[in-house]
C-alpha cells in the first residue's frame, strides 16, 4: 500500500524509525558512486547528518507494504534557494509506478513551496543521476572535480509535455 507524499517535514530528531529507514536505503544505494567520487559514506556520520537535516527539510516518502522504498527531500540552503538533497529509490522498487509517485510527490512538494528555481548536486560518478537530471531539464550551473551543481526553473520542470513524457518513460532513464 502506498502513502501519499508529504509537503511538510515528516521527521524530527525523535523519529528514529524513519531515520533508520532512510539510513538503510542511503547506505544501500549511495555507497558505490560516493566511493567512485573519492568520498566515503559511513553510517554514524550520515545518521547524524540526517538528524540535523530532516527537521528543516521537506520529505516525500514512498512506501510499499509499510516499508520505505523511495524518498525525495528538499532542503532550504540559503535565502530562497532550495536544494534537492535526496532522490533515492531502492533497486528492487525502480518501477514506473514508484518513479511516477516520486516525481509527482516531489513536484507537489516543490510547487507547494512556491519556488522559481530548484538546485541539485550530483556526483559526476553517478552517471544515471546525471542523465536523469539532464532528461528533466536541469542545466549545469557549476562544477568541481567531483560534482555538478544542476539548476532548473520550476515552471520548466513541472509544466507541459516534457514532464508528461518523462512520467510515461519513468524507468527508461
pTM score: 0.81
Q: What is the CATH classification number for the domain harbouring 117?
A: 3.40.630.30
5 located within any domain: no
CA distance 126 to 123: 5
Cα–Cα nearest to 44, from 58, 27, 59: 27
Strand segments, DSSP code E, in 7-116 are 57-64, 67-78, 81-89
Task: Count CB atoms within 10 A of the CB of residue 19.
Answer: 18
Domain carrying residue 88: 16-168
| pLDDT for the residue numbered 166 | 60
Rounded-to-5 percentages of helix, strand, coil across the chain: 45, 30, 25
| pLDDT for the residue numbered 107 | 85
10 located within any domain: no
Size of the chain, expressed as the number of residues it contains: 173
139 located within any domain: yes
| pLDDT for the residue numbered 78 | 73
6 located within any domain: no
Mean pLDDT by 10 residues, the chain (173 residues): 42 74 95 90 95 91 96 84 91 91 88 88 92 89 95 76 59 44
1 located within any domain: no
95 located within any domain: yes
3 located within any domain: no
The x, y and z cell numbers of residue 93, run together, are 522498487
| pLDDT for the residue numbered 173 | 41
Task: Count CB atoms within 10 A of the CB of residue 18.
Answer: 18
Cα dist. 20→1, 41, 68, 85, 94 in Å?
Answer: 20, 15, 10, 17, 21
141 located within any domain: yes
Number of domains in the chain: 1
Amino acid at each position: 500500500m502506498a502513502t501519499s507524499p508529504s509537503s511538510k517535514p515528516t521527521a524530527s530528531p525523535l523519529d528514529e524509525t524513519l531515520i533508520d529507514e532512510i539510513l538503510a536505503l542511503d547506505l544501500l544505494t549511495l555507497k558505490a558512486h560516493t566511493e567512485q567520487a573519492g568520498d566515503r559514506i559511513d553510517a554514524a556520520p550520515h545518521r547524524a547528518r540526517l538528524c540535523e537535516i530532516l527537521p528543516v527539510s521537506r520529505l516525500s516518502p514512498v512506501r510499499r507494504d509499510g516499508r520505505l522504498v523511495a524518498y525525495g527531500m528538499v532542503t532550504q540552503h540559503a535565502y530562497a534557494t532550495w536544494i534537492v538533497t535526496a532522490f533515492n529509490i531502492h533497486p528492487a522498487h525502480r518501477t514506473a509506478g514508484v518513479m511516477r509517485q516520486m516525481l509527482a510527490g516531489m513536484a507537489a512538494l516543490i510547487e507547494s513551496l512556491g519556488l522559481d528555481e530548484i538546485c541539485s548536486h550530483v556526483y559526476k560518478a553517478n552517471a544515471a543521476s546525471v542523465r536523469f537530471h539532464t532528461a528533466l531539464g536541469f542545466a549545469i550551473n557549476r562544477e568541481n572535480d567531483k560534482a555538478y551543481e544542476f539548476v532548473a526553473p520550476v515552471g520548466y520542470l513541472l509544466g507541459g509535455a516534457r514532464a508528461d513524457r518523462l512520467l510515461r518513460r519513468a524507468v527508461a532513464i
